[in-house]
Amino acid sequence: MRIVLLGAPGSGKGTQGKRLAEEHGIPQISTGDLLRAAVAAGTPLGERARAAMEAGQLVSDDVVVGLIRERLGGSDAAGGFILDGFPRNVAQAEALDSMLEEIGRPLQAALHIEVDFDILMKRLTGRRTCEECGQMYNIYTSPPRVEGRCDKCGGRLVQRADDNEETISRRLEVYRSQTMPLIDYYHRQGKLLDVDGDGEVDEVHARIAGQLKGLA
Ligand code: AMP
């Protein structure tokens, strides 16, 4: 399976992507995760990306396209992949298309997870992540049993640096102006699949599985 997950910040791309990746035995590749790891490790690439990320702006196309090119060349991606948070604009989508064309393995679908903007704000401000194992929580809708601690491993729950209200508004605006045109881009290619992303994780997963039925 070779697919892209499209959706606003907070639409559930990461959560659903991880689950699909586990089920299909293929990697979920998130440019946001790769960039956060580079920032945390203090690499030159991380230093280049940090300011844009903190401001809620997009990191430059050459940085993220380079990351994706390297990651898709990994042996674990040979059997397929789920891209989460990439592409974010038309230039990135075109770069991805030509990369995949070169290896004769075109994208099969772009799954668009739709969630109303007012629900997104609540999901994003409430979002907490375990710094040890990456398990996600939401203090409003799916809180941990013990405040601030991960149910699975007891790790500390942290809020992403860019999950504050000001940066969230900027990220939603960037999504609206730069990423939403991809809906039309993939629609014109006949690859767009729409899913209602409102509801419980299991419910949304079932809808997604229904849409992806038949894709190997
Ligand atoms: P995410 O975890 O997908 O919400 O991404 C967090 C931040 O990383 C974004 O707000 C951007 O600053 C940066 N980022 C992630 N993916 C991309 C991308 N494909 N293009 C440019 N910037 C990105």
Q: Which residues are marked as active site?
A: 13, 88, 127, 160, 171
Q: What is the mean pLDDT of residues 207-214?
A: 92
Please tell me the predicted confidence (pLDDT) of residue 117: 86
Average of per-residue pLDDT values in the chain: 94
Distance (Å) from CA 53 to ligand 1 centroid: 7
Chain position carrying tokens 């300011």: 51
The string of pLDDT tens digits covering residues 23-45 is 999 999 999 999 999 999 999 99
Please tell me the predicted confidence (pLDDT) of residue 35: 95
> Per the domain annotation, does 63 fall within a domain?
yes
Distance (Å) from CA 88 to ligand 1 centroid: 8
Please tell me the predicted confidence (pLDDT) of residue 122: 85
The string of pLDDT tens digits covering residues 127-157 is 999 999 999 899 988 899 999 999 999 999 9
pTM summary value: 0.90
The residues, any chain, with a CB within 8 Å of residue 154's CB and separated by 6 or more, are: 132
Please tell me the predicted confidence (pLDDT) of residue 156: 98
Mutation choice for ligand 1 from 58, 60, 83, 94, CB with most ligand atoms inside 8 A: 58
Q: What is the mean pLDDT of residues 98-127?
A: 93
Please tell me the predicted confidence (pLDDT) of residue 141: 86
Binding-site residues, ligand 1, Cβ < 6 A: 9, 31-32, 35, 52-53, 56-59, 64, 85-88, 92, 162, 171
| Beta carbons of 178 and 96 less than 8 angstroms apart | no
> Per the domain annotation, does 171 fall within a domain?
no
Please tell me the predicted confidence (pLDDT) of residue 165: 86
Q: What is the DSSP letter of 58?
A: P
* Choice between 215 and 39, residue whose per-residue pLDDT is larger: 39
Map residue 32 onto helix, strand or coil.
helix
> Per the domain annotation, does 9 fall within a domain?
yes
- Rounded Cα distance, 112 and 101, in Å: 22
> Per the domain annotation, does 149 fall within a domain?
no
The residues, any chain, with a CB within 8 Å of residue 23's CB and separated by 6 or more, are: none
- Rounded Cα distance, 88 and 6, in Å: 8
Mutation choice for ligand 1 from 53, 54, 94, 96, CB with most ligand atoms inside 8 A: 53
Task: Return the CATH number at 78.
Answer: 3.40.50.300
Distance (Å) from CA 134 to ligand 1 centroid: 17
Number of domains composing the chain: 1
Please tell me the predicted confidence (pLDDT) of residue 29: 96
Distance (Å) from CA 31 to ligand 1 centroid: 6
pLDDT bin (cut points 50, 70, 90) of residue 74 is confident
Task: For residue 41, give its domain range.
Answer: 2-116+179-212
